[in-house]
Amino acid sequence: MKTMTVDELTREFDDCADKEERLTLILELGDELEPLGDEHKVEVNRVRGCTSNVWMIPEVSAAAPGKLRFRADSDSQIVRGLIAILLSLVNERTPEEIAALDLEGVFNRLELARYISRSRSNGLSSMVQRVRDIAQHCQSAS
Amino acid sequence: MNHAAPPLDPVKLREDFPILSVRVGADPARGDEGVPLVYLDNAATTQRPRSVIQSLVNVYEQSYSNVHRGAHWLSGLSTAGYNAAREKVQEFVNAAHFEEIIFTRGTTEAINLVARSWGDRFCQAGDEIVLTELEHHANLVPWQQLAERVGVKLRTIPIDDRCQLDLEQFDKLLSPRTKLVSFTATSNVTGTITPVVEIIARARRVGAVTLVDAAQSAPHLPTDVRAWGADFVALSGHKMLGPSGIGALYGRRELLASMPPFLGGGGMIDRVWADHFTPGDLPYRFEAGTPAIAPAVGLGAAIDYLNYVGLDAIHAHEQLLTARAHELLADIPGVKIWGPPLEHKAGIVGFTLDGVHPNDIAEVLDQDGIAVRAGHHCAMPLHQRLGVEFTVRASFYFYNTLAEVEQFAKTVAHAQRLFRKR
């Protein structure tokens, strides 16, 4: 999956004419997400607080040691799209960079809350929390 | 129920429900007018007519005080209103006696009351409680808790491939050990209408007590505790136009009289000394603490409105909507409806779409202003039996129109096309 800058993401969303196109965009982003193998879809990797199943695993970046790379998957196609957005923002960054990211600010700019239901927003918050917890854990461990 | 009731006019009745005119996603700051609400989540909770909302306002503006206790005029007025609501529930379920109606917070509390009070007093290790595969957690977990406390064994009437109870298997489960048969009158997932009278008759043959979970049936079909021969019947106000936080338990008088209080506190006692108490009379013995006074009055107003529309007409209209939904959904590739044939079914359409997460379907429907529920609907064992984790559920009421059902089906078809290629 390609990494996108906030500006690129915002532009893609701004280019959508209506809710329908935004949903299609979210689904297309999800299509590019690399699926997790079944061996990773286990309880320990499950993100609690999502109404659909979400599994997330952190890895150290192969390209740049010290940077993190998350992989995640869901049984919901819309959630896969949200995961793709989140991961494009946090992947290939150091724990410190992740901690400093204003992810909620980006989601606000994309006006995600207008296009996804509240329970989905809550699920997204749970994923963000998981990413931050892992980043913080890496910071305190290093 | 098959005799022809005069058709009701949903468009006219909708005018009594202010919330049905809200626009979903409206955002005036952006000039977004939103879309009309299509409310198809009635099995979770119905909406309220103006008369019910107004009844709450009237209580608080004109007659509110605590009940039973005060010697003053206002308390007398409040008590009269509260008990008038109880009489309405009594009449609605055709109970013989006023004191057979206990106000509870809803069906869940009503069933817990029976499990705690009757269950702890009368059940012991080796006794059996028969439930069904259709049950909501509210009629399952309290019995599992009772099993943990006293060691009763739970048995389950299975469903067949058409989501109907297998009564032959039921007969095999019944024995002198059967202490209670507790079952739903209408499934909240499949919409299955169960043969209440038949189940109770068979249960009584072995001397079992019966409890009917009428949460999903009371808003749509007549409740007749005497014709049913039921010992306990539980219902919820919020599913039948009433306020949330109020419901009722019907209990046969002799049984209730033999049961110890559920919750202890004010209002439920006769006398209290430093080290013991004597319980008060029925029905107050089971209503400890200040009750939900205004919501009870609201439930009475809801019953008035249901009587005005007529349950026969309501059921006939819902049959019409459900038949249309089935017809339209059947045309959509990959849709599977989980439920019995139409003639055994209430206005609940539980379905899945091949390869698409139920949450995703609900999300697309939501964007179109259509409120449905996706999930396990508090019936996880039933979903395990069906072999699916979640279902989407559209549930209708008398204020829904054929046009809304058609819009719903059209959006499901759209969702199918949207997700299909992935």
- Model pLDDT for residues B326-365, shown as the tens digit of each residue: 999 999 999 999 999 999 999 999 999 999 999 999 999 9
In whole angstroms, give the CA distance from residue B421 to residue A82. Answer: 18
Measured N-to-C along each axis, helices A19-31 and A6-14 cross at an angle, to the nearest 10 degrees, of 140
Asked if B363 and A31 come within 8 Å (Cβ–Cβ), the reply is: no
Q: Is residue A112 in some structural domain? A: yes
Set B77, B263, B378, B380: catalytic member:
B378
Residues of A in contact with B361 (CB under 8 A): none
Spell out which chain B residues touch chain A, with contact meaning CB-CB distance below 8 angstroms: 25, 27, 356-357, 359-360, 362-364, 366-367, 375, 418-419, 422
Distance between first and last Cα of chain B: 45
Task: Give the pLDDT score at A6.
Answer: 82
Q: How far are the Cα atoms of B5, B59, B92, B352, B378 from residue B345, in angstroms, in the given order?
A: 18, 37, 22, 17, 19
A51 touches chain B (CB under 8 A): yes
Q: Residue B4: what pLDDT?
A: 62
Tell me the chain A residues in contact with residue B363 when contact means C-beta distances shorter than 8 Å: 23, 78, 116-117, 120
pLDDT over 60 (residue B3): no
Question: For A67-79, what is each residue's pLDDT tens digit?
Answer: 999 999 999 999 9
Which letter does DSSP use for residue A48 in this model?
T
pLDDT score of A3: 65
**pLDDT mean for each 10 residues of chain A (142 residues):** 76 87 92 94 89 90 87 94 93 93 90 79 88 88 66
| Structural tokens at position B331 | 């045309």
Total count of domains within chain A: 1
What is the distance, to the nearest Å, from the Cα of residue A56 to the centroid of all Cα atoms in its chain?
A: 10
Q: Would the pLDDT of B421 be above 70?
A: no
Report d(CA B250, CA B95) in Å as an integer.
8
Q: How far is A28 from chain B (nearest CA, A)?
A: 9
Q: Which two tokens stand for residue B193?
A: 């209408």
Residue A1 falls within a domain, yes or no?
Answer: no
Task: Please give the single-letter amino acid code of residue B58.
Answer: N
B364 contacts on A by Cβ (under 8 Å): 23
Domain enclosing residue A68, as ranges: 6-141
Does residue B274 surpass a pLDDT of 90? Answer: yes
* CB-based contact A23 B375, cutoff 8 Å: no
Q: Which residues of A touch B419 (CB under 8 A)?
A: 27, 77
Structure tokens at B322: 């459900």
The answer to whether residue B1 scores a pLDDT higher than 50 is no
> Which range has the worst mean pLDDT, A115-119, B111-115, B212-216, B230-234?
A115-119
Q: Of B400, B408, B322, B399, whose CA–CA distance to B362 is shortest?
A: B408
Residue type for position B291: P
Whether residues B363 and A120 touch (CB distance < 8 A) is answered with yes
> Tell me, what's the pLDDT at B38?
98
Cα–Cα distance, B375 to B394 (Å, whole number): 12
ipTM of predicted assembly, 2 dp = 0.88
Residues of chain A neighbouring B27 (CB-CB closer than 8 A): 114
Q: How many Å apart are CA B293 and CA A52, to the nearest integer?
A: 39
Pairing type for strands B23-24 and A68-74 reads unpaired
| Per-residue pLDDT tens over the stretch B110-169 | 999 999 999 999 999 999 999 999 999 999 999 999 999 999 999 999 999 999 999 999
Residue A16 is a catalytic residue: no
Q: Is A114's CB within 8 Å of B25's CB?
A: yes
Phi-psi region at B55: left, alpha or beta (left = phi > 0; alpha = psi -120 to 50): alpha
**B52-307 belongs to CATH 3.40.640.10:** yes
**Average pLDDT for B268-285:** 95
Options A50, A79, A85, A135, the catalytic residue: A50
Of B363, B419, B422, the CB nearest to A117: B363
Nearest CB among B25, B366, B375 relative to A51 is that of B375
Is residue A27 in a domain?
yes
Contact status, residue A119 vs residue A47, Cβ threshold 8 Å: no
**Which residue from B357, B367, B375 is facing A77, i.e. has the nearest CB?**
B357
- Write the DSSP assignment of B268-283 as a string of letters: SEEEE-SS-EEE--TT
Residue ranges per structural domain of chain B: 10-47+311-420, 52-307
Query: What is the average per-residue pLDDT within B262-279?
Result: 94
**Best mutation target, A14, A19, A50, to test chain B (most B CBs within 10 A):** A19
Which burial class, exposed, middle or buried, applies to A69 when counting CB atoms under 10 A from its CB (0-12, 13-18, 19+)? middle
Q: Is domain B10-47+311-420 classified as CATH 3.40.50.2300?
A: no
For chain A, the helix, strand and coil percentages under 3-state DSSP, each to the nearest 5: 60, 10, 30
For residue B12, the cross-strand partners are: none
Smallest CA-to-CA distance from B129 within B144, B117, B116 is with B144
Can you give the CATH number for the domain in which A41 is found? 3.90.1010.10
Q: Region B194-211: what's the mean pLDDT?
A: 98
Average pLDDT, chain B: 96
The amino acid occupying position A44 is: V
- For residue B24, pLDDT over 50 is answered with yes
Chain A interface disruption, residue of B359, B366, B390, most A CBs within 10 A: B359
pLDDT band at B312 (very low <50, low <70, confident <90, very high): very high
Which stretch of DSSP H or E encloses residue B236?
A: strand B232-236
Could you tell me which residues come within 8 angstroms of residue B312 by beta carbon, excluding any fewer than 6 positions away?
B1, B3, B5
Looking at chain B, the whole-number percentage of residues with pLDDT higher than 90 is 94
pLDDT greater at residue B30 or residue B245: B245
CB burial of residue B255 (10 Å; 0-12, 13-18, 19+): middle
User: In terms of Cα–Cα distance, which of B138, B345, B134, B309 is closest to B235?
Assistant: B138
Residues 56-85 of A with CB under 8 A from B: 75-79
